[in-house]
């Protein structure tokens, strides 16, 4: 009799444990199915957004919008320079490890407007005032810079 009672209790415990494991697995399976549906819906949304992006970023649409809304035009061929027009670096004689860059400044254009002189030429000759200014010399990282003043013959 004891043996039957112990067997019944063990079978009831095993049955309860088996039922709990089965319900846990079913809950996890439902969660997995929900996540797979969410992933599929997100992938569809991504595909739709990529198609919309491809439609909106068409080159002919961008060109028409830039010309109508921003008043922009394509770059003309006369503005494109060949590769030879780019100045190359020249190696310095003192230290071959550090290249010395070449700086080519553009030629300054003539001013579009001139300053108006409101004084008479007689007033200028009569005043004849001289101003002297002392300009300091500057030393930066081994380079010595000295200020130069312009005279009558220099601008």
- The answer to whether the CB of 105 falls within 8 A of the CB of 93 is no
Is the pLDDT reported for residue 47 higher than 60? yes
The label of the residue with tokens 């002297």 reads 132
User: pLDDT tens digit string along 90-138?
Assistant: 655 555 565 555 555 566 666 565 555 555 545 444 555 555 555 555 5
pTM: 0.41
Token pair recorded at residue 80: 């494109």
Query: What is the pLDDT of the chain when averaged over all its residues?
Result: 76
Q: Per DSSP, which regions of the chain are E strands?
A: 90-91, 99-100, 137-140, 143-146
* 113 vs 2 pLDDT, higher one: 2
């Amino acid at each position: 009799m004891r043996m039957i009672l112990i067997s019944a209790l063990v079978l009831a415990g095993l049955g309860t444990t088996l039922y709990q494991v089965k319900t846990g697995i079913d809950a996890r399976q439902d969660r997995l199915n929900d996540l797979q549906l969410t992933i599929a819906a997100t992938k569809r949304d991504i595909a739709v957004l990529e198609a919309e992006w491809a439609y909106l970023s068409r080159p002919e649409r961008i060109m028409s919008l830039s010309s109508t809304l921003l008043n922009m035009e394509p770059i003309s061929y006369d503005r494109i320079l060949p590769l030879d027009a780019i100045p190359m670096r020249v190696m310095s004689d003192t230290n071959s490890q550090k290249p010395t860059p070449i700086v080519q400044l553009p030629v300054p254009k003539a001013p579009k407007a001139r300053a108006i002189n409101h004084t008479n030429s007689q007033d200028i000759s009569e005043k004849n005032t001289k101003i002297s200014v002392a300009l300091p010399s500057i030393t930066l990282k081994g380079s010595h810079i000295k200020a130069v003043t312009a005279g009558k013959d220099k601008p």
